[in-house]
Amino acid sequence: MPVDCRELVEAISIIANERNVQVTMKQATKGSLVCAASAFAGGILLGPVGLAVGSAAGGLMAYKMTSGKFRPLADVLINDLTDRQKEQLVRRVNNAVAEFAISDLAILLPMLMNNASIQEAVLKTAISFVSNELRVQVIQ
């Protein structure tokens, strides 16, 4: 009995929530650039003390810029993937767990919820898929 694609995506979402995996749309890069630029400017203007002051100020600015712009991976999986992308994800997950000798996708769901090795393989596959398909950064 094959498992509904939606059920498997929901199971992956549960695991992603448990591990608090977040997705950002290029916000981490912006934040790190602001932080680095502030540290550099502080170092040029005030020397070693300026590095510390610039880093702290840049960190606060980066926090303010990126606050609230990170989303849970589970939310992205459920709401942002098209049906075609969800089917592709299910195929990739099926390929990723093939080494665990799971012959039927219906057996995968109970094993997924109870086996840490399978959870890790499935989560890595989902992270890789979302990173490549949606061009987002994933933060674990």
Spell out the residues 6+ positions from residue 58 whose beta carbon is closer than 8 angstroms to its own: 34, 35, 36, 37, 38, 39, 42
Instruction: Write the DSSP assignment of 84-99 as a string of letters.
Output: HHHHHHHHHHHHHTGG
Cα three-residue angle 120-114-21, rounded to 5 degrees: 40
pLDDT digits (tens), the chain, 140 positions: 455 678 888 888 988 888 888 887 666 677 788 889 999 999 999 999 999 999 999 889 888 887 767 788 888 888 888 889 888 988 888 888 777 766 666 677 787 888 888 888 888 999 888 888 877 778 77
This prediction's pTM: 0.62
